[in-house]
Structure 1
């Protein structure tokens, strides 16, 4: 598990390799990742948008951004949390991801909640974060 707290917003990520969704002969390896967003601050926040930087083992970078996560823009009051699972295909057998969420405050301002860098590795492989 990977965890980082920014401005009282704790982001935890748990990646998992999905053998059944992967096709090595077609150069496709697939990971699911579960994200838990916990609001430890005293403010209500709404997840407005996301940004991901995905790097495969060959150093190729893909950047992904958009509104919300899995079609939702959850509102988290103090002490609330939100969990979702998504996926990431790669054309190499390993890679890394990191990013951030833009969280909107009630007063119209926003803050950046960092998503910790995490490793996408095959089971039993040594974890490497570059």
Structure 2
């Protein structure tokens, strides 16, 4: 979905914050399966309403194994946010090591017809006591 999108304008801005939680009950360390929930809060901080069309994630485990996930919307939705509005959702990712990271971007379409991306900064996935 990424491509030759125009450079972001201040009128086309979304901020993205992510919180993570290790899901011990969903994980199987003996089978190298570590599952993490991540809660994303996105907010339209621009001046033009926009709709989320898709997402691109790169999920990397502690061994450097990276998996790219590309898809439409988030959790089955395509939030359309007015300036100042926010949308929050929770999803999960499973990796083969107790520590990893994720990063990516959302692809959006502003109501003025201009496509743009909102970057999702790198964040950690870490089993408690997995980082020292």
Q: Which residue of 2 aligns with 1:22?
A: 27
RMSD across aligned C-alpha pairs, in angstroms? 1.3
Matched, 1:125 2:130: yes
In the TM superposition, structure 1's runs of 4+ consecutive aligned residues that sit over 3 Å from their partners are none
1:44 aligned to 38, 44, 49, which one? 49
Other-structure match for 1:35: 40
Please point out which of 56, 77, 81 is paired with 2:61.
Answer: 56
TM-score by length of 2: 0.88
Instruction: Give the one of 71, 86, 96 matched to 1:91.
Output: 96
Q: Does the 8 Å CA contact 2:98/2:130 hold for their aligned counterparts? A: no
CA–CA distance in 2 between the matches of 1:58 and 1:47? Answer: 32
- Matched residue, 1:111: 116
TM-score between both structures, scaled by the size of structure 1? 0.89
Gaps of 5+ in 1: 1-5
Q: How many pairs are equivalent?
A: 122
SS at match of 1:99: strand
Does residue 79 of the first structure (1) align with residue 56 of the second (2)? Answer: no
